[in-house]
Structure 1
C-alpha cells in the first residue's frame, strides 16, 4: 500500500508492506484479505502510520520510504 506525504511543495512517497498492516490489525489476521479490508485497516491505523512516517522522514529526508512491521514497534 502507498500514500503520499508533503513537505512544503515536495511530495514524499511512502510504501507500507502489507505485513505491517496485518501485524497491526488483528481483524486482518482472522479474515480473508481484500482491498476493502486493507483500506479499512489503513484508515483505522492512520494516526500510527502518520507518526511512523513522520519519524522516518525526520530521521533522514528522502524521496520515498518503505515502512515495515519493524517500524511499528
Structure 2
C-alpha cells in the first residue's frame, strides 16, 4: 500500500516554525513537518501568524502532500521534514 493521508488534522508548531501533519503506510503512522518557508513560497501573500499559516497550508494541501510523498521512503523512519 502506498502512503495516504486520510486524516485532515494538522497543527502549527510555533517553536519550530512548521505545520505538522500525518500520513499512513499501511498501519504505520508517519509524521511530517513542513517548514513555514515552504508554505510562504507557495503562498507569499499569506501572513506569518498561526491562523494565516494554517490557512495557507489548507489552500495548498494537495501540493504539500505531493511533496510529502516525494520525500517519503518506506522503512524504519517515521518522521520527515519538508524544508
Tell me the TM-score normalised to structure 2 length.
Answer: 0.70
Tell me by how many angstroms 1:38 deviates.
0.6
2:27 is aligned to: 9
State which of 42, 47, 67 in structure 2 corresponds to 1:52: 67
User: Which has more helix, going by share of residues?
Assistant: 1
RMSD value, Cα: 1.1
2:78 is aligned to: 63
Q: Which protein has greater RCO, CA pairs closer than 8 Å, 6+ apart? A: 1
Count the aligned residue pairs. 63
Structure 2: runs of 5 or more not aligned: 1-18
Moved over 3 A (4+): none
User: Which has more strand, going by share of residues?
Assistant: 2
Tell me the TM-score normalised to structure 1 length.
Answer: 0.78
2:55 is aligned to: 40
